[in-house]
Structure 1
């Protein structure tokens, strides 16, 4: 489950709670958004997640796409999106939005 990864508080959820983005954090001088994708379906699935980080007055939004392919039913796929951008900004003041596409064909072939 997503709680097993200790990513902290959620910043955004999508696709009926299957995809969760957590509050951005610094990781080796990079700003990252931890993500979990939990397949609640009965079949394997692939996820395409577009993460948009709005830094407000500190700069233009940053958009990153992450994929998780062939996620087994009932399992959670942890990953992170690197949203680093020029300039100083506080990751905790960042607004995160998600757009998710779930494909029930495990190799990502939409039909």
Structure 2
């Protein structure tokens, strides 16, 4: 997997985990919103070590965490498409909201 894609995915995931908008991350890291968006959505945006460090600091994490491929593609490949879709949707939600949905799903499963 392309390292730029891994970095972008990790930045996006951590930003969402913290409940930050791209604008807030840009403000905290002293980078432009456009740059943050390109990092998160393309694998064509290169990032210097200094800018990567600025992002890591703004996201309260280490540079190594932003470089680590934490993709679960192999695990999710064995799951049915609807389960993958549900997991993806939950991963894109605000963590508090995703937790509420997960609890409701768990309650439904326990009733079956």
Pairwise TM-score range, normalised by the shorter structure: under 0.3
TM-score norm. by structure 2 comes to 0.23
Greater Rg over alpha carbons, structure: 2
Structure with more strand by fraction: 1
Structure with more helix by fraction: 2
